[in-house]
Amino acid sequence: MYILLLFVMMLWGFNVSAIKVLVENIDPILLTSVRIFAAGLAVLIVMYVMKILRWPTKKESLIIFYISIFNVIVHHAAMAVGLKYTSGVNTGLIVGLGPLLTMVLSTILLSKHVTIFKSLGFLLGFAGVIVTTLVGSGGMTGMSIGDFLVFISIAAQAFSFILISKLNPDLDPRLLTGYMMVIGSFFIFILSLVLESNPWQIVRLFDVELGTVFLFSALICTAFGHMVYNFAIKQVGPAEAAIFINFNTFFALIGASLFLGESIKWYHLSGLVLIVAGVLIGTGAVEYLVQRRKRRTN
């Protein structure tokens, strides 16, 4: 499961480059609504092929809508608008707060016990995000409405992880993901129309290059990525799964280097060391190895 989570973080990191290419040609909120709808539809089709697809009950429908408000609508809409009004440096740092917010919410709402190892893991991972995003870029440029919206986006996502674990719907997590995306994309599309976005921009996706990037972003990164991540939340817990979000920053930098021609500096590699150390310690891997060695010694 941890290997799958790492792979998902790589996809999500590369997705930053994909979305950057797409939003240069299409309104961000309109693009988000279509991308998430395509991803949700793909998930439901996969569930049908796996013979897992079923209609949710009335109670499950309410839970799906409730979680989708935070996991899809607020998270993606706030992020899309926030990115218009803040820098990439600030966004990278704020996104790095996700695991810490999830840990705090898990402690408060789920009464999770936070060990010294997990706390140290979160702090090291967050330090890695700071080093990666701030050292070579002159620091933060000052708080703005964009920074606030990105923070709201990450806080909503962290809260949705808690809801998935706390409400624990009977639906398969992957099926839950598909329904949330389809429902959430509808409301984001309405928001794009309210903001006077021109829906005819979507025809630009018929371009071979843009269409390929869109399919990679929607089907591989969003559909597959969220299916695996929401499934992992129920398997390893929201706090442990959220630690891996720290890898987003690093893989986003790798993607920028490979696909956008940007260079990787020494501080990026330093950040990677801190992030890897944070994940290994925070997930309990180091603690497990220490305890196993003690048992063998005894």
Q: Could you tell me the pLDDT band of residue 136, with boundaries at 50, 70 and 90?
A: low
Q: What is the pLDDT of residue 298?
A: 67
Question: Could you give the dihedral angle defined by the CA atoms of residues 78, 81, 87 and 88, in that order, rounded to the nearest 10 degrees?
Answer: 60
Spatial contact of 232 and 4, defined as CB atoms under 8 Å apart? yes
Indicate whether 153 pLDDT > 60: yes
Mean pLDDT of the chain: 81
Q: At residue 8, what is the residue type?
A: V
Q: What is the mean pLDDT of residues 130-153?
A: 70
Tell me how far CA of residue 189 lies from CA of 24, 58, 185, 260, in angstroms.
18, 24, 6, 28
Indicate whether 141 pLDDT > 60: no
Indicate whether 142 pLDDT > 60: no
Most confidently predicted of 76-90, 114-128, 204-218, 252-266: 204-218
Indicate whether 289 pLDDT > 90: no
Q: What is the pLDDT of residue 78?
A: 86
Q: Could you tell me the pLDDT band of residue 45, with boundaries at 50, 70 and 90?
A: very high
Higher pLDDT pick, 53 / 254: 53
pTM, two decimals, is 0.75
End-to-end CA distance of the chain: 30
Lowest mean pLDDT across 36-40, 104-108, 148-152, 240-244: 240-244
Q: What is the pLDDT of residue 152?
A: 92
Lowest mean pLDDT across 39-43, 67-71, 230-234, 261-265: 261-265
Indicate whether 138 pLDDT > 60: no
Q: What is the pLDDT of residue 238?
A: 67
Q: What is the pLDDT of residue 129?
A: 74
Q: What is the pLDDT of residue 68?
A: 92
